[in-house]
Chain A
Amino acid sequence: MKGWLLGYLAFAALSLAFPASVFAQGFQELRFGVYAYRPDSIIQERYQPLADYLSGRIGIPVKLQVLGQEEMSQALASNQLDFFLTNPSQFMVIRSERSLTGVLATLVRKHGEVATASLGGVIFTTPDRDDITGLADIQGTTIASPGRHFLGGFQAQALELKEAGVDVFRDNRIKLVRSHDRVLRAVLTGNAEVGFVRTGILEELIAREPTLADRIRILNRQNLVGFPYVVSTRLYPEWPVAALPHVTSDIVRRVASALFAIEEDYPAALSAGIAGFAPPADYQSVEYVARELRIEPYDQLPTLTWAELIRQYWAWLVAILILVLLLIGAMLWLGRKKRELATEQLRLRRLILSWPQPMLMLADGEFVDGNRAAVELLGFSVPKSLLGKDIAAFSPGLQPDGQVSRQKMQKLLSQVRQGEVAQVEWAFLRSDGSQIWVDMTLAPVHEKGDAQPYVLCSWYNITRRKEAEQRLRLAASVFDNAREAIFITDLRGLVIDVNDAYREITGRARADAIGRLPPLPLEEGIGVFSSARTAGFWSGEFVGKRRDGERFNMALTISGVRDEQGAISHFMGIFSDITRLKAQEKELRTMAHYDALTHLPNRVLFADRMSQVMAQARRQDDLLAVVYIDLDQFKPVNDAYGHKAGDELLVEVANRMRAELREEDTLARLGGDEFAALIVNISDPAVLENLLVRLLHAVSLPVPIAGGVVQVSASIGYTLYPQAQELDGDQLLRQADQAMYQAKQQGRNRYCGFAGAEA
């Protein structure tokens, strides 16, 4: 008590000694603003002692100004205040608007015997509101609060609610009633459901009106040992005292020291209900609340301009830009690649579809895809006809090797599934019923993820080859089995191949035959081939020689074998053994021209010879004679000794006559006992007559026959050629016949010439 009394005395003394203006470098009075968190009159009453105390301690009158929020702002804006005491939230706003020297001191409040430099918020409702028991229940209620810039009257509670998931700005109606007292009134009268006040208010009000304690209920009550007030939120530092910048540091220092000097028992402290002032607190936690709630001065987020953004993050932006460009580039590149790939795929597909060789894809043994050639090969017009069917569906029941088509294909497919490539000749039945041959290749196409491999199936049409093979087989069979000998030579005529008949006919082994000339007559061999070469073939008959030297007749045809250019590359010869044919032919010819008994030419051959020699005689101007010979007394011999004896006689007579004639002369038997002779080159009639005499003599000699000896004679007539008029053979023979008749007339066994033959 003595301290402040002394202070007052000192102040009084100083006031007397110096005018106010002299104090403190021109400050005639210090204006001390105190924020009216409760009704002005109460604050005025409580803090006037503090103002008085300060006046006394620093020697300058201190004028207390109790101000509302806006009043204080205006007063500060016009520098109407030198110091102020206000709640931390308000202080934050002021500090953000003006440059302050910082906090001089922090208020320490006192309740009963307990002092605290902390404040918090109280959340309360009325006891009848059973539905509001926790923070979450406050959602949607009407809240009464003194104002947003009250730390203990709004912000502390708002933060707790926010952390409990209740956004009071969004979820609640907030009535700002400007003072803590009115908050209580609003809640009690039902104007608001929930009230926000700072710590200490309720205790003060209850002290004045004790029944109040039963009319309110505290929400989210914090159990904080040693804190003198009920509280619903976490705590924050108490009110700060701050000086404005225009106040000199000397004054600030003196005010601060005066504030710190206040003891609990000073009237200024007792009146204001405080324990004094503590060194400035750290108001960061208050700042944090405002920031979290986006309340002034942190209600505006700093706007970031593009320039700032670019300046700060240019490296990132460039990097992102590069990445984006790279990405776009990569996408374009990928897109192009994809298009190229699609084109390529289309091209490949077209290629496969139009590829002339049939190709198909099998899955699980059934066609799933195929090109045009495959469809056409099977005689269909659209691929749909094939899809979903297996290979056996287009095959005959049995393959040419005798296996059942379906079983054979299953075997093949199981082979292919094990990774092998199968190749097989396969017969298909086309839609028109015709059969075709293909050379089929089945290859597995492994795709990842396929349970069973696809099978690529390609066909090569070998029907024509197969047919050619069949023809060849036929030809080979003909070659091998022909009765005719067949040989093939090269252009030089050397044998390349021969068949079995060749070996049989010629008696030469195949090895002997090949590489040698075929059995052609030596003198004709070259001519045969050259005529075969020019005319395409040659055919003829001649005598060949077997290996053992035996001769045989052969009929040979040689043909040129032409190559693709039409030039002859080989010769093929075909011949048969015609020896027997030839013999038969000769026999027949003999039978036609010779007398079977005497083997002399018969009438036909005689006539032929006669015309020949007649022509010769005409050409060479020779003389010839046609002689007609008839045996005398032949019939009695025949009758007496029989025909056999007659025939023997005829043969003997014929031989004798033949022996008398020259080689160039011809003796023929005209029939019965009649003979005729052609005598050529008669140089002298005496020769003829001599010959005729020899003939008569030869005939007249006795002939031993079976059973005896007989003797016959002959009557001979002759005529000469050429004569005066041209004659034919018949006429000549008739002349000779007439002459013979004449000889007969004249007594037989003589000769007689045709009268008038000498011309």
Chain B
Amino acid sequence: MHRRHFLGASLAAGFAALGLGGCGTARPLRFGIHPWIGYEPIYLAEEFGWLPSAVALEKGSSALDSMELLKSGGIDGAALTLDEAIRVHVAGTRLMVVGVTNVSVGADVLVVRQEIKNLDQLRGRRIGVEMSGVSGTLLLNLLNLAGIPRDEVTLVDLPMDEHVSAWRQGEVDAAACYEPTASVLQSLGGVRLFDSSQLPETIFDVLVVTRQFADLEPDAVRALLEGHFAGLRHLVRNPYDSVYRVATRQGISTAAVRSALASVMLPDLASNQRYLARNGRIERVARDLSEMLAREGMIPRALRVDRFCNSDFLPRSVA
């Protein structure tokens, strides 16, 4: 269960069939996307007609859809978390990170029972976590940071939608999760001990395209990024409009949208340039992350590419 699933579950099915068969002479970029605050700029761009016909959105309900389609060749690119992108890449579909949509600054949380006061007290505890998701990344990083060896905690691999019941039944002492699960657990007496804001610039959501497509149709990739940054400008610069639209799409309140926005950092064009630079943050994080995932046996091998990201497709400026 991937976290993005929660946010988009209600709308996903309706859009799933749309977005295929773009027009134009060149082959359109079939781009997998699912509801998540970081991907909202692309939805907004589509809503306002800022995506050219060279980009056809393939709307799924969760990252799983996009990952499966990427592996089967059904789409040419997708919005994913960095670890998801690494998984797909290592599984054989060679990818390239062409944009960073958001950096998690608190969206991913470790909620603990009240008696746990600090990270060190996690030793010997049972921690519920969806290891195949981004929470796994959070937890692994957290344990690293706290210097707790893996065998000193018991990791209970739980899909996100089972966290609440497991908590209630006392099966776990802590849960690595994200909104809205985190808020539910807090209302059940849980305490936010740690969140991704304490792991600066570590948990990324990115836009990836297959290397094959990028070689074939670089202009379509540029068009996607131009649309993303136009949507991002609207999202950030005119929240008086965008929060309502996001809330409408995700079926949540504007207040929830605002708090979701607060839990992510949406890097602008300049930040993207910085993140995607050669030996930039994404490159280093992706390498470290892939090594960690490989160490944990969650992926068969670490990344073995010269460059996992490419800033060449970013627009020169945002109109």
Mask of A103-139 contacts with B, CB within 8 angstroms, 1/0 = 0000000000000011110000000000000000000
Q: What are the 7 closest A-B residue pairs judged by CB atoms, nearest first? A: A235-B241, A224-B244, A118-B240, A285-B238, A225-B248, A234-B241, A226-B254
Q: Determine if B245 is an interface residue (Cβ-Cβ < 8 Å).
A: yes
Mask of B228-260 contacts with A, CB within 8 angstroms, 1/0 = 000000100110110011011001011000000
Docked-complex contact A225 and B244, CB < 8 angstroms = yes
The interface on chain B, measured as residues whose beta carbon lies within 8 A of the other chain's beta carbons, has a size of 14
Q: Determine if A282 is an interface residue (Cβ-Cβ < 8 Å).
A: yes
Q: List A contacts of B247 (CB < 8 A).
A: 224-226
In the complex, which residue of chain B has the Cβ closest to the Cβ of A164?
B49
Main SS class of interface, A:
loop
Docked-complex contact A163 and B240, CB < 8 angstroms = no
Docked-complex contact B240 and A237, CB < 8 angstroms = yes
Docked-complex contact A235 and B244, CB < 8 angstroms = yes
Q: How near does chain B come to A108, taking the closest CB pair, in angstroms? A: 11
Docked-complex contact A118 and B241, CB < 8 angstroms = yes
In the complex, which residue of chain A has the Cβ closest to the Cβ of B47?
A234
Q: Determine if A281 is an interface residue (Cβ-Cβ < 8 Å).
A: yes
- What separation, in Å, do the CA atoms of A281 and B248 have in the docked complex? 22
Q: Determine if B48 is an interface residue (Cβ-Cβ < 8 Å).
A: yes
Docked-complex contact B241 and A282, CB < 8 angstroms = no
Q: Determine if A284 is an interface residue (Cβ-Cβ < 8 Å).
A: yes
Q: List B contacts of A227 (CB < 8 A).
A: 244
Docked-complex contact A284 and B240, CB < 8 angstroms = no
Q: How near does chain B come to A744, taking the closest CB pair, in angstroms? A: 159
CB-contact partner of A285 in B241, B245, B251, under 8 A: B241
Q: List A contacts of B234 (CB < 8 A).
A: 285
CB-contact partner of A224 in B48, B237, B248, B251, under 8 A: B248
Q: List A contacts of B251 (CB < 8 A).
A: 225
Docked-complex contact A285 and B244, CB < 8 angstroms = no
- What separation, in Å, do the CA atoms of A226 and B249 have in the docked complex? 12
Chain A residues 233-276 with CB under 8 Å of chain B are 234-238
Interface residues of A (CB under 8 A from B): 117-120, 163, 223-227, 234-238, 281-282, 284-285
In the complex, which residue of chain B has the Cβ closest to the Cβ of A118?
B240
In the complex, which residue of chain B has the Cβ closest to the Cβ of A237?
B240
Most buried by A among B237, B240, B251: B240
Chain A to chain B contacts (Cβ below 8 Å), 26 pairs: A117-B240, A118-B241, A118-B244, A119-B240, A163-B48, A223-B248, A224-B244, A224-B247, A224-B248, A225-B244, A225-B253, A225-B254, A226-B244, A226-B247, A226-B248, A234-B238, A234-B245, A235-B238, A235-B240, A235-B244, A236-B240, A237-B240, A282-B237, A284-B237, A284-B238, A285-B238
Q: List B contacts of A285 (CB < 8 A).
A: 234, 237-238, 240-241
- What separation, in Å, do the CA atoms of A238 and B244 have in the docked complex? 14
Q: List B contacts of A237 (CB < 8 A).
A: 238, 240
In the complex, which residue of chain B has the Cβ closest to the Cβ of A106?
B240
Q: List A contacts of B48 (CB < 8 A).
A: 163, 234
- What separation, in Å, do the CA atoms of A619 and B247 have in the docked complex? 176
Q: A226-B247, A236-B240 are in contact. List 9 more A-B contacts (CB 8 A).
A: A118-B240, A118-B241, A224-B248, A225-B254, A227-B244, A234-B238, A235-B238, A238-B240, A285-B241
Q: How near does chain A come to B261, taking the closest CB pair, in angstroms? A: 14
Q: List B contacts of A281 (CB < 8 A).
A: 240
- What separation, in Å, do the CA atoms of A512 and B49 have in the docked complex? 118
- What separation, in Å, do the CA atoms of A236 and B253 have in the docked complex? 18
Q: List A contacts of B238 (CB < 8 A).
A: 234-237, 282, 284-285
Mask of B191-203 contacts with A, CB within 8 angstroms, 1/0 = 0000000000000
- What separation, in Å, do the CA atoms of A236 and B243 have in the docked complex? 11
Q: List B contacts of A225 (CB < 8 A).
A: 244, 247-248, 251, 253-254
Main SS class of interface, B:
helix
- What separation, in Å, do the CA atoms of A226 and B245 have in the docked complex? 10
- What separation, in Å, do the CA atoms of A119 and B240 have in the docked complex? 8
Most buried by A among B238, B245, B248: B238
- What separation, in Å, do the CA atoms of A282 and B238 have in the docked complex? 7
Q: List A contacts of B254 (CB < 8 A).
A: 225-226
In the complex, which residue of chain A has the Cβ closest to the Cβ of B239?
A282
Q: List A contacts of B245 (CB < 8 A).
A: 224, 234
- What separation, in Å, do the CA atoms of A379 and B237 have in the docked complex? 94
Q: List A contacts of B241 (CB < 8 A).
A: 118, 120, 234-236, 285
Docked-complex contact B253 and A226, CB < 8 angstroms = yes
- What separation, in Å, do the CA atoms of A284 and B239 have in the docked complex? 11
Q: How near does chain B come to A19, taking the closest CB pair, in angstroms? A: 43
- What separation, in Å, do the CA atoms of A224 and B238 have in the docked complex? 15
Q: List A contacts of B253 (CB < 8 A).
A: 225-226
- What separation, in Å, do the CA atoms of A319 and B78 have in the docked complex? 44
- What separation, in Å, do the CA atoms of A338 and B240 have in the docked complex? 68
In the complex, which residue of chain B has the Cβ closest to the Cβ of A281?
B240
Q: List A contacts of B248 (CB < 8 A).
A: 223-226
Q: How near does chain A come to B200, taking the closest CB pair, in angstroms? A: 26
Q: List A contacts of B49 (CB < 8 A).
A: 163
Q: How near does chain B come to A274, taking the closest CB pair, in angstroms? A: 15
Q: How near does chain B come to A114, taking the closest CB pair, in angstroms? A: 10
Q: List B contacts of A223 (CB < 8 A).
A: 248
In the complex, which residue of chain A has the Cβ closest to the Cβ of B50?
A163
- What separation, in Å, do the CA atoms of A225 and B243 have in the docked complex? 9
- What separation, in Å, do the CA atoms of A163 and B47 have in the docked complex? 12
- What separation, in Å, do the CA atoms of A284 and B234 have in the docked complex? 10
- What separation, in Å, do the CA atoms of A234 and B241 have in the docked complex? 6
Q: How near does chain B come to A95, taking the closest CB pair, in angstroms? A: 18
- What separation, in Å, do the CA atoms of A573 and B192 have in the docked complex? 144
Q: How near does chain B come to A196, taking the closest CB pair, in angstroms? A: 18
Q: List B contacts of A119 (CB < 8 A).
A: 240
Q: List A contacts of B244 (CB < 8 A).
A: 118, 224-227, 235
- What separation, in Å, do the CA atoms of A159 and B241 have in the docked complex? 14
- What separation, in Å, do the CA atoms of A292 and B241 have in the docked complex? 18
Most buried by A among B49, B245, B251: B245
Q: List B contacts of A117 (CB < 8 A).
A: 240
- What separation, in Å, do the CA atoms of A281 and B241 have in the docked complex? 12
- What separation, in Å, do the CA atoms of A163 and B251 have in the docked complex? 27
In the complex, which residue of chain B has the Cβ closest to the Cβ of A282?
B237
- What separation, in Å, do the CA atoms of A118 and B237 have in the docked complex? 13
- What separation, in Å, do the CA atoms of A147 and B88 have in the docked complex? 56
- What separation, in Å, do the CA atoms of A428 and B268 have in the docked complex? 90
Q: How near does chain B come to A408, taking the closest CB pair, in angstroms? A: 60
Q: How near does chain B come to A155, taking the closest CB pair, in angstroms? A: 14
- What separation, in Å, do the CA atoms of A426 and B56 have in the docked complex? 78
Q: List B contacts of A238 (CB < 8 A).
A: 240
- What separation, in Å, do the CA atoms of A238 and B240 have in the docked complex? 9
- What separation, in Å, do the CA atoms of A284 and B318 have in the docked complex? 14
Q: How near does chain B come to A386, taking the closest CB pair, in angstroms? A: 55
- What separation, in Å, do the CA atoms of A285 and B239 have in the docked complex? 10
Q: How near does chain A come to B260, taking the closest CB pair, in angstroms? A: 14
Q: How near does chain B come to A414, taking the closest CB pair, in angstroms? A: 50
Q: How near does chain B come to A5, taking the closest CB pair, in angstroms? A: 31
- What separation, in Å, do the CA atoms of A226 and B251 have in the docked complex? 10
In the complex, which residue of chain A has the Cβ closest to the Cβ of B241?
A235
Q: How near does chain A come to B254, taking the closest CB pair, in angstroms? A: 4
- What separation, in Å, do the CA atoms of A285 and B240 have in the docked complex? 9
- What separation, in Å, do the CA atoms of A556 and B305 have in the docked complex? 115
Mask of B39-60 contacts with A, CB within 8 angstroms, 1/0 = 0000000001100000000000
In the complex, which residue of chain A has the Cβ closest to the Cβ of B240?
A118
- What separation, in Å, do the CA atoms of A235 and B254 have in the docked complex? 14
- What separation, in Å, do the CA atoms of A285 and B236 have in the docked complex? 10
Q: How near does chain A come to B230, taking the closest CB pair, in angstroms? A: 12
- What separation, in Å, do the CA atoms of A236 and B247 have in the docked complex? 16
Q: List A contacts of B237 (CB < 8 A).
A: 282, 284-285
- What separation, in Å, do the CA atoms of A223 and B246 have in the docked complex? 11
- What separation, in Å, do the CA atoms of A583 and B188 have in the docked complex? 171
- What separation, in Å, do the CA atoms of A237 and B48 have in the docked complex? 18
Q: List A contacts of B240 (CB < 8 A).
A: 117-119, 235-238, 281, 285
Q: List B contacts of A118 (CB < 8 A).
A: 240-241, 244
In the complex, which residue of chain B has the Cβ closest to the Cβ of A234?
B241
Chain B residues 99-125 with CB under 8 Å of chain A are none
Q: List B contacts of A120 (CB < 8 A).
A: 241
